[in-house]
Amino acid sequence: MAGMLYLVPTPIGNLSDISIRCRETLEKADFIAAEDTRVSLKLLNHLGIKKPLVSYFEHNKSQKGEMIVGRILAGETCALVSDAGSPAISDPGEELVKQCAEAGITVCAIPGPCAVITALSISGQATGRFCFEGFLSTAKKSRREHLESLANEQRTMVFYEAPHKLLNTLEDMAAVFGEDRPISLCRELTKLHEEVIRTTLGGAIQLYNQQPPKGEFVLVVAGAAPAEEKVATEDDAVARVKELMDGGMSRKDAIKQTAQELHLPKNVVYDAALNI
């Protein structure tokens, strides 16, 4: 019988955030696949768990993935952990889940610490609709292209960012979204120096020019305000009726179509178009 793959989230700063179910799953697994075995060993030692560890990270994932799938198909159960937070979310694992799914292996994700959700919850920004954008590219051109593709995004946007790239990212965001766009900078979540700075992109740039950013960041940026719907005027109606008539349409049909297009009452368009 085939085994299973468990995705086991681990603390993003506070060791007490490991759940009973995560602990039990790590205890029961036949082996643990870890992004960095040294990091995971510290956690396992803290939990008093001894298990064989297999390294599974960005640059060995295709070759290691096949080996892990083979072992699971042979009946073993694997628990996948990353350095911190939820595996497969901006972390190795996405590929392994895909490979397991293709091989008909059951994949079980245990809920637990995840920086994107922790940050969004305390950001003070709208949480009803959001999009997760992960890490922006380190290359300026693709970072700008990524941000420009979000220029009209109305949902709250969540980004992961490293401290040494923060100022460049904030400057690019301000250039695309405007300096007044609200942002919540969520730093060192669940740790001793957890901090949420709720400001604007301009305010954040000013702040971090004065004090160099330290620690891990999640940026929660407000979405764009909905574009104001333009209310059509009588002049707009006259121009459109004329345009349609010049194109060969009868006056009656042009008035009807203009009223529909501009959401104006037909009699208003009719009166406005009397002198054409």
* Structure token pair of residue 7: 């995705």
Measured CA to CA in angstroms, residue 176 lies from 148, 172, 219, 238, 255 at distances of: 6, 6, 15, 37, 40
* Touching ligand SAM, residues 99-138 (CB under 6 A): 114-116
Instruction: Find the part of the chain contacting ligand SAM (CB under 6 A) among 185-193, 222-230, 237-245, 260-268.
Output: 185-193
- In the list 81, 97, 218, 272, the residue contacting ligand SAM (rule: CB under 6 A) is 218
- In the list 6, 56, 130, 160, the residue contacting ligand SAM (rule: CB under 6 A) is 160
Q: Of 34 and 114, which has the nearer Cβ to ligand SAM? A: 114
- In the list 5, 91, 123, 262, the residue contacting ligand SAM (rule: CB under 6 A) is 91
Q: Is 188 exposed, middle or buried (0-12, 13-18, 19+ CB in 10 A)?
A: middle
If binding is defined by CB under 6 A, does position 85 make contact with ligand SAM?
yes
Residue 229 makes CB contacts below 8 A (sequence gap 6+) with none
Question: DSSP string covering 104-129, please?
Answer: T-EEEEPP---HHHHHHHHH-S--SS
Size of the site for ligand SAM (CB under 6 A): 24
Q: What CA–CA distance (Å, rounded) separates 105 from 173? A: 41
Measured CA to CA in angstroms, residue 242 lies from 203, 245, 252, 258, 268 at distances of: 50, 5, 12, 10, 15
Q: What angle in degrees, to the nearest 10, is found between the helix axes of 166-177 and 140-148?
A: 40
Q: Of 151 and 162, which has the nearer Cβ to ligand SAM? A: 162
Cα 162 to the center of its chain, rounded Å: 15
Instruction: Find the part of the chain contacting ligand SAM (CB under 6 A) among 87-95, 103-111, 201-209, 261-269.
Output: 87-95
Distance of closest approach, residue 117 Cβ to ligand SAM, in angstroms: 8
- In the list 189, 220, 222, 262, the residue contacting ligand SAM (rule: CB under 6 A) is 189
Q: Of 118 and 258, which has the nearer Cβ to ligand SAM? A: 118
Distance of closest approach, residue 159 Cβ to ligand SAM, in angstroms: 8
Measured CA to CA in angstroms, residue 256 lies from 68, 71, 259 at distances of: 66, 69, 5
Region of residue 238 (phi > 0: left; psi between -120 and 50: alpha; otherwise: beta): alpha
Q: What CA–CA distance (Å, rounded) separates 137 from 242? A: 50
Distance of closest approach, residue 186 Cβ to ligand SAM, in angstroms: 6
* Touching ligand SAM, residues 19-78 (CB under 6 A): none
Q: Of 165 and 251, which has the nearer Cβ to ligand SAM? A: 165
Measured CA to CA in angstroms, residue 160 lies from 87, 128, 169, 197 at distances of: 15, 20, 11, 15
* Touching ligand SAM, residues 191-210 (CB under 6 A): 191
Closest CB to ligand SAM belongs to which residue? 85
- Which stretches of the chain bind ligand SAM, using CB under 6 A? 12-13, 82, 84-86, 89-91, 114-116, 160-162, 186-191, 216-218
